[in-house]
Structure 1
Amino acid sequence: MAEPGEWDNFLLRYPGIIVSGSKARGTVKLNGKWYRLKVVCPHFPKLEEARLELLLPQQVKFTKIKKEDLKAGWTLYDLMEHLPQLQHKYSDTANLSAKSLEITDSNIYSEIAALYAPQDYQLELNDACSLLRFSKFAGYERHYLQVALPTLQITAHSLPDCVPWEEQLQKYENLTAMVQQFRNYLQHLRAFYGNFADIDELCYVVQPKPPVSTKHNWRLFVLRERVFIKLVLSDPFAPIGSMSVQIIGPTQAVEELRRTLSDGLSEWDVELDIHKNLLRIFDICYFPMPPGSGWMEVDGEVNSTEQKFCNICYSYQLEEGEIPIVSCDNPQCTLVYHAACLKEWFNTLTDGMDFLSVSFGTCPFCKTKLSTSFSELLAN
């Protein structure tokens, strides 16, 4: 098997090739023509036990090159230089005058080769040459952009769902401009993702299900026992200006904390991020951490939230990632529920009340009313 680093000179000569172990695949340009191939070369650069497949003109499947067509003593370098002759030999005679593997400068595949920039991002093309994926952008490793070929239709991306990015990016008529604009968006969204970074790392985020995707523009995290903060950034380009902060929990606690939040928002420090401003507003050193995090309070007690099971389904986490956070206004009742389980519970009651009304439901056990701050969770 080829040792790590042995392919380096080969990749420098043929930058359109991607190598994984003893396997290589990609697109190369020889004498002005483009060739798409797949190679298995366990004894690189020798062709012992090697296998070559070449995509022929007007074909969608790769054709295997026979060993008898490879001259004795050839290395992979020799094989690459003889691709034009091999392509000609294996092409169907009826198609020789049709399209060759030559790709003009206006063709999308020529543009893909020009976009090869491993220092800026990773570029992957599927075997059918129908999907192109840009990923692991420098400084933004979690982000990706995937387009269909040759239509340039965006099939997947990592940007926040709250903006119709597809419509914005589809305005660009070529792939180069589209990728450049995507990278521009990543730079413009640095503040958006930066404001969530400390919250994701230093808070107990209960929704969306961790690890949180780059596509989410909201977080629901623990403020204290039975009380949560829901943070929404509606406009990723103006995170502070579009910020919405909602307190969710028992009615009495919510009323007190809403007043504290209102007073604190009027003294917002623009030099601090959202996480630090919220710590200052609620006059705490840090928010509760996830169970088992091991962070310590000043007095030596562990600062984390205990896992409590839903008192309807008797489980902690649902398949969708939801955990039980809904509780009633009775301070003596310590039971919690999944919003989904409560919704199903209320739907089974013949005299169930409207979730969106002022008194939308009561605790299934102690019959104390639930805080209306939970109404959005139950309505979704």
Structure 2
Amino acid sequence: MALTSSFSRAIYSEIEEIGWEHLVRLAEDLSFVTFRVVDKKERVHVLEILLDKSYPNCPPSVSADVPYLFNLEWSTNSRLKDVVKQFRQHLEKLQQFWSTVEDIDQSLWVSNTAQLHRATSFRHIKIGNLFLVQILTPIIPLLVCEIFCFSGNDCSVILSIRANEPRSLPECRFLGSNENVNLLRDKWRRNCNKWSKDKPFAENLANLLECQLPGPPGFEKNDQQIECGICYSQLLPVDDELGPKSGGRTDYTCENSTCSKAFHSVCLGDWLRSITTTRQSFDVLFGNCPYCSQPVAVKIGTRK
């Protein structure tokens, strides 16, 4: 993109309207800009806006970690703040979806949680030993889901949740031995009418399966993987440029006890660099927490 002074001024002016404190990244050639957006449940989202060389005559493209994107309404008079506004409205429509999957994560045994992200619309759930369940409860109905056999008669189910109707009956298919699959399909057909949008997801699943489902496996607090308050990922990407921090967990926590947000020091350092009020002394950046505005200080290192 040819950087004209008028184009640069226009982009900087539109970023100013949104607020530089919401800026995460800005391409040197102004081909894209990334903003941090917090929804009403304090979930952090990152919105990337790709700018065509004919912007604003041509609408920008957007990408975000959501199950589906919104249809951008655009005119030649539209600005970046209009994109962010429409994204916020889209996030409001997805609140029930995220509340539903979070309820599943907290009440059931979900596998591969480290690989889940905000766009994931399925959950891989451990059911338990199918043989033992059959002895305890002769009737084992099943809802919409996929079944994976771990070992022996131990099985699990993958629920596909509808992002636009998260409390409705999910979709699924079964995997496993023919005997178990046929049994589960038969029970599912008999009991699918038990599903109720007014009941919690885990309760609905237990009613359809007519069994007690295992809860989340126990683990120590120190072993928990906490999302970064800036990139909202648990682990940094595996990248040689990050050096020893490649693939690392959150390693910085706001000292304000009423906040206690966790961050990757790399993400927090990049965030602080984008704020004009940040001060630097040697290899330490001094600024404010993105959430509570309390003072923070993070040591920065040179990347490979």
Structure 1 length normalisation: TM-score?
Answer: 0.42
CA contact (8 A) 2:106 2:216 kept: no
Give the aligned residue type for 1:239: P
**CA separation of 1:237 and 1:206: change in aligned 2, threshold 3 A:** same
Match of 2:66 in 1: 159
Whole-angstrom CA distance in 2 between matches of 1:124 and 1:281: 45
Give the aligned residue type for 1:253: N
Q: 1:111 aligns with which of 7, 10, 14?
A: 14
Give the aligned residue type for 1:132: V
Match of 2:36 in 1: 135
CA contact (8 A) 1:231 1:243 kept: yes
Match of 1:188 in 2: 93
Secondary structure at the aligned position of 2:111 is classed as strand
Whole-angstrom CA distance in 2 between matches of 1:171 and 1:233: 30
Give the aligned residue type for 2:159: L
Q: Which runs of 5+ in 1 are unaligned?
A: 1-58, 61-97, 295-318, 320-380
Whole-angstrom CA distance in 1 between matches of 2:42 and 2:101: 14
CA contact (8 A) 2:35 2:48 kept: yes
Whole-angstrom CA distance in 2 between matches of 1:117 and 1:127: 14
- Larger helix share, 1 or 2: 2
**CA separation of 1:185 and 1:101: change in aligned 2, threshold 3 A:** closer
2:127 pairs with 1:220: no
Whole-angstrom CA distance in 2 between matches of 1:181 and 1:155: 11
Match of 2:192 in 1: 265
Match of 2:24 in 1: 124
Whole-angstrom CA distance in 1 between matches of 2:15 and 2:66: 22
Whole-angstrom CA distance in 2 between matches of 1:134 and 1:245: 35
Structure 1 residue 277 displacement after superposition: 0.8
Give the aligned residue type for 1:198: D
**CA separation of 1:114 and 1:123: change in aligned 2, threshold 3 A:** same
Structure 2 length normalisation: TM-score?
Answer: 0.51
Structure 1 residue 206 displacement after superposition: 3.0
Q: CA RMSD in A?
A: 3.4
Whole-angstrom CA distance in 2 between matches of 1:147 and 1:257: 45
Q: Deviations over 1:165-203 (max 9, x none)?
A: 27x126464322211111111111112112211222333
* Identity across the alignment (%): 20
Whole-angstrom CA distance in 2 between matches of 1:247 and 1:102: 55
Q: Deviations over 1:304-339 (max 9, x none)?
A: xxxxxxxxxxxxxxx9xxxxxxxxxxxxxxxxxxxx
Q: Deviations over 1:220-249 (max 9, x none)?
A: 221113222121134x22234472133433
Structure 1 residue 257 displacement after superposition: 2.7
Match of 2:114 in 1: 210
Structure 1 residue 288 displacement after superposition: 4.9
Match of 1:46 in 2: none
CA contact (8 A) 2:128 2:214 kept: yes
Q: Deviations over 1:338-361 (max 9, x none)?
A: xxxxxxxxxxxxxxxxxxxxxxxx
Q: Which runs of 5+ in 2 are unaligned?
A: 130-153, 221-237, 239-304
Higher relative contact order (CA 8 A, sep 6+): 2
User: Max radius of gyration: which structure?
Assistant: 1
Q: 1:201 aligns with which of 97, 102, 106?
A: 106
